[in-house]
């Protein structure tokens, strides 16, 4: 019998897929603005956008998440991680129920080596039974039973409570070296 592998749960938005990049693209186009990721340090897009929290309207489009760019190196590193860890994808899909199909199809297109059994659509990630959770939202770590690993995003750069990774090469260094 194989030894039990430690488990890593991985968030999708802003960790595997470039949700913020797509938001900026749509927002800049529709509001004739030219915001970049560097304009958001420590803030969310809604705090600096001309339209405020109305930017969240983009999530209401069921296809919004379907064509996100893949975050660099995420495919290669997650595939490598699978040799030593049991990998689950855990995404807070319940915040935007219209996005279920697009999220699933995007995963199947870009991460077809993750079996359906290991994909989780949830809300509160304290329900995830894993040793590690790689996520850009620190609040998800507060009740998580394992170790939270904060994936850097513009909105979390002031967070200091958790180990941080800035990119997928740093994830590889942390888990595979």
Of the candidates 30, 60, 76, 95, which one interacts with its own copies according to CB under 8 A?
95
Query: Which residue in 168, 1, 177 sits closest to 71, CA to CA?
Result: 168
Is 168 in contact with 71 (CB distance < 8 Å)? yes
Q: Which residues pair with 13 in a beta bridge?
A: 17
Of the candidates 35, 122, 138, 157, which one interacts with its own copies according to CB under 8 A?
122
11 belongs to the catalytic site: yes
If the CB atoms of residues 40 and 103 are measured against its own copies, the closer one turns out to be 103
Site string for its own copies, 16-55 (x = CB under 8 A): ----------------------------------------
Q: Does 9 bind its own copies (CB under 8 A)?
A: yes
Kindly write down the DSSP assignment for every residue of 85-119, as one continuous string: SEEEEEE-GGG-GGGHHHHHHHHHHH-TTS-GGGE
13 belongs to the catalytic site: yes
If the CB atoms of residues 37 and 101 are measured against its own copies, the closer one turns out to be 101
With vertex at residue 138, the alpha carbon angle to CA 133 and CA 143, rounded to the nearest 5 degrees, is: 70
CA distances from 149 to 69, 107, 113 (A): 22, 21, 23
Of the candidates 46, 110, 118, 164, which one interacts with its own copies according to CB under 8 A?
118
Of the candidates 2, 38, 97, 160, which one interacts with its own copies according to CB under 8 A?
97
Q: What's the rounded Cα separation, in Å, for the pair 151 and 57?
A: 25
Q: What's the rounded Cα separation, in Å, for the pair 173 and 66?
A: 30
Of the candidates 119, 149, 153, 171, which one interacts with its own copies according to CB under 8 A?
119
Active site residues: 11, 13
Using CB under 8 A, list all residues that contact its own copies. 7, 9, 88, 90, 93-95, 97, 100-101, 104, 115-124, 126-130, 145
């Amino acid at each position: 019998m194989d030894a039990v592998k430690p488990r890593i749960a991985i968030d999708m938005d802003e960790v595997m897929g470039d949700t913020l990049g797509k938001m900026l693209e749509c927002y800049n186009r529709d509001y004739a603005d030219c915001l970049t990721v560097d304009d958001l340090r420590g803030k969310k897009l809604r705090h600096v956008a001309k339209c405020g929290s109305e930017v969240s309207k983009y999530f209401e489009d069921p296809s919004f998440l379907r064509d996100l760019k893949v975050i660099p190196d995420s495919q290669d590193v997650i595939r490598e991680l699978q040799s030593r860890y049991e990998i689950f994808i855990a995404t807070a899909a319940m915040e935007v129920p219209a996005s279920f199909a697009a999220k699933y199809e995007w995963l199947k297109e870009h991460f077809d080596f993750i079996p359906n059994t290991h994909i989780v659509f949830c809300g509160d990630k304290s329900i995830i039974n894993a040793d590690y959770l790689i996520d850009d939202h620190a609040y998800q770590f507060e009740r998580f039973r394992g170790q939270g690993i904060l994936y850097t995003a513009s909105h979390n750069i002031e967070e200091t409570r958790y180990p941080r990774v800035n990119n997928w090469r740093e994830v590889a260094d942390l888990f595979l070296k």
